Amino acid sequence: MSVEALPSPVRTGFPPGFVWGTATAAYQIEGAAAEDGRTPSIWDTFSRTPGKVRNGDTGDIAADHYHRYRDDVALMARLGLGAYRFSLAWPRIVPGGRGPVNEAGLDFYDRLVDELLEADIAPVATLYHWDLPQELEDAGGWTNRETAYRFAEYAQAAARRLGDRIPTWTTLNEPWCSAFLGYGNGVHAPGRTDPAQALAAHHHLLLAHGLGTAALRAELPAAAQVSLTLNLAAVRPVSDDPADLDAARRIDGLANRIFLDPVFHGSYPADVLADTAEVTDWSFVHDGDLAEISRPIDSLGINYYTPTVVGADDPAAPADRQDGHAGELSPWPADRGVRFLPAEGSRTAMGWPVDADGLYELLTRLRDDLPGVPLLVTENGAAYEDYCDPSGAVHDPERIAYLRGHLAAVRRAIADGAPVRGYFLWSLLDNFEWAYGYSKRFGIVHVDFASQRRTPKDSAHWYAEVVRTGVLPD
Ligand code: FCB
């Protein structure tokens, strides 16, 4: 048989056992907001606050996955996917954020996990994808240290019930967004706008990660994997000018090292502490916290969409804030003197420049900075203006081009020694895209939200072929 006929690692560039999946999150797809004992999260409250979410959209029904999960798993099986990254809704499992466990809420995930295993799809569960129980927010949310302890209790309850069947657990999804968009510029729930609170929230989220990791380890079988997903930034200085390089250092600190140093080295970077000294004295960091936060984990999840280009601020120019995050205020707690510029290249429907090299840069940087830490791309994908044509097809050539480019970047990073073990495309389904509501479609499966009809887009068929062969077709 010729080499051409085999999807061998040599020919495909993706190693044996490479995990191919898709990703979603509870509030974005489940709906059933008030069923089986679920109580409101900060996103239920935020989406009901006038002016916060486009068109006043909410996750009340979303893609109705709570009722249609069987069909959705069958769809994944038809696409040949090997893994599914989803999140558990804290307000289903521990309604109100503390107190008794709601078995009816856990029953849903029990059914989902069994359905996945039946279809030979590995479940990858994230504990926190932004849906903090509202009662905990009322008690201070992530600015309150106690929230981290409540998170560990919730993690334990989830692992106790589901740990025998879920091999990979992620504590948090993108704590940068929870802290800096939620408490910094307020474009995400709970919508607070205070840089000092954003940094306190950041620390308490990391503490929750550490305490949650310990709680998971106490419940899970020894072979289970515990991970954390970060939206690290591929930060590029706009020039070699020392002032631009310093802007890049500052944003690299606030986007990347503010997570990587405490989680992997047990300390906060000195330059970040200095840069943020005008905002906070960091007295929320207690003795022992960093030991908790730096408990060993088994892999690191990376979400990547677009690079971050920065330079020194030009006081004469109007403030340039093209960091990909909407809002009038800056989410960055101490970005004085920094200008954000768009990368070159075409834009997605989010306005995010398409630049696959950023993913390569990130993965090879982590290869160097975190030797021996396996990496997973836990999100990558793009929104475009998709529509179902009269023949019932959804042609999305731009998304296919985006995916091909980014998967080629992953393949190149692997060839250059980055230990990337899997790729989860964001997203399986069109869904509630946070402050953009249903106006942005990231799915490889189109959802008609009026009828809940699912239509695999051309990109779904393309991705199925990639998963089947390990080759990136034209
Ligand atoms: C990430 C989120 C995910 C989705 C994508 C587009 O920041 O984790 O829920 O909204 O962006």
Report pLDDT digits (tens) over 177-205.
Answer: 999 999 999 999 999 999 999 999 999 99
Q: Is the pLDDT of residue 250 over 80?
A: yes
pLDDT digits (tens, 9 = 90+) for 108-157: 999 999 999 999 999 999 999 999 999 999 999 999 999 999 999 999 99
The response to whether residue 128 sits with its C-beta less than 6 Å from ligand 1 reads no
pLDDT of the residue at 325: 78
Q: Mark whether 174 is an active-site residue.
A: yes
Q: Are 113 and 123 in contact (CB under 8 A)?
A: yes
CA 273 to ligand 1 center in whole angstroms: 28
In this prediction the pTM is: 0.97
Radius of gyration, alpha carbons of the chain: 21
Q: What's the mean pLDDT when you consider all of the chain? A: 96
CA of 1 to the centre of ligand 1 (A): 43
User: What does the alpha-carbon distance between residue 4 and residue 436 come to, in Å, rounded to a whole number?
Assistant: 44
pLDDT tens figures, 87-105: 999 999 999 999 999 999 9
Question: With a 6 A CB cut-off, is 433 part of the ligand 1 pocket?
Answer: yes
Q: What is the mean pLDDT of residues 224-250?
A: 98
Nearest of 26, 231, 17 to residue 125 by alpha carbon? 26
Q: How many CA atoms lie within 13 A of 152 on its CB side?
A: 19
pLDDT value at residue 1: 40
Tell me if 303 CB under 6 Å of ligand 1: yes
| Ligand 1 proximity of 420 Cβ (cutoff 6 Å) | no
Question: For a pocket test of ligand 1, which of 426, 432, 433 has the largest count of ligand atoms closer than 8 A to its C-beta?
Answer: 426
Mutation test residue for ligand 1: of 229, 433, 438, 441, the one with most atoms within 8 Å of CB: 433
pLDDT digit string (tens) for 446-459? 999 999 999 999 99
Q: Tell me, yes or no, if 465 is annotated catalytic.
A: no
| Cα-to-centroid distance, 454 and ligand 1 (Å) | 20
Return the structure tokens found at 291: 């030991």
The arithmetic mean of pLDDT across residues 69-79, rounded, is: 98
The alpha carbon of 29 and the centre of ligand 1 are apart by a number of angstroms equal to: 12
Decide whether any atom of ligand 1 lies within 6 Å of the 431 Cβ. no
Q: Work out which ligand 1 atom sits closest to the CA atom of 434.
A: 10
pLDDT at position 3 over 50:
no
| Candidates 174, 219, 361, 398; catalytic one | 174
Rounded distance from Cα 71 to ligand 1 centre (Å): 23
pLDDT number for residue 129: 99
Contacts of 332 (CB under 8 A, 6+ apart): 180, 184, 251, 254, 323, 338
